[in-house]
Amino acid sequence: MARITVNTTGTQPVLLVSTDISTSANIANGIFANTANALSVTCLQDVTLTNSTGVFSWTDFCSTDINKVSTPADNEVSTNIVIDDEVYFGNSSASTGSAKNLGVAGLSQTKTQIQWKLVWDNSSANGNVSNAYYTSGVGFISSLAPTVSPEAPVWVTPMSIAVNGQMYNGQNS
């Protein structure tokens, strides 16, 4: 059985975000309209992809069993990141613009919809690694809560992406 290894040098996951929302075909294929403006969120401590397809159940007098039908999914990407000044605050004091300019804090505060791509087994900063698996979609960054303490003197924060619509899986060619 093959495994997707992420604990060796050069195979860590990476999360890319962009304010340049591509066509739905590009999103499904994990292609960014403008990779130069994409923000690479590295130094992930953990990542959780949640696909919560809902189920509605009912009973009636016609059957002795419970009936079920699926309802729309509520998808989310959750992670904890070590705060890097450019990733968190952006590289500009502008309140609009690219993901690189705004950083994850600015994207969350301005409620900017993003295109995102999580490369599961990445070995480059731009996420374009041959045969690397990815999950992609669009959504909104939320749940930032930076914390630091004397026992853990590095700023870290949880971060979620509330997925707007479908998540897509694929493999870079």
Mean pLDDT calculated for residue range 100-110: 94
Give the model's confidence band at 9: pLDDT under 50 very low, under 70 low, under 90 confident, else very high. Answer: low
Q: What is the domain partition of the chain in residue ranges?
A: 14-171
The pLDDT of residue 106 is 94
Distance of CA 139 to the CA centre of its chain: 8
Nearest Cα to 94, choosing from 157, 53, 37, 52?
37
Give the model's confidence band at 90: pLDDT under 50 very low, under 70 low, under 90 confident, else very high. Answer: very high
| CATH number for the segment(s) 14-171 | 2.40.30
Evaluate if residue 130 carries a pLDDT over 90. Answer: no
Distance from C-alpha of 90 to C-alpha of 152, rounded to nearest angstrom:
24
Chain segment 13-65, per-residue pLDDT in tens: 889 999 988 677 788 787 877 777 789 898 899 999 999 988 999 999 998 99
Q: What is the value of pTM for the model shown?
A: 0.85
Distance from C-alpha of 83 to C-alpha of 42, rounded to nearest angstrom:
9
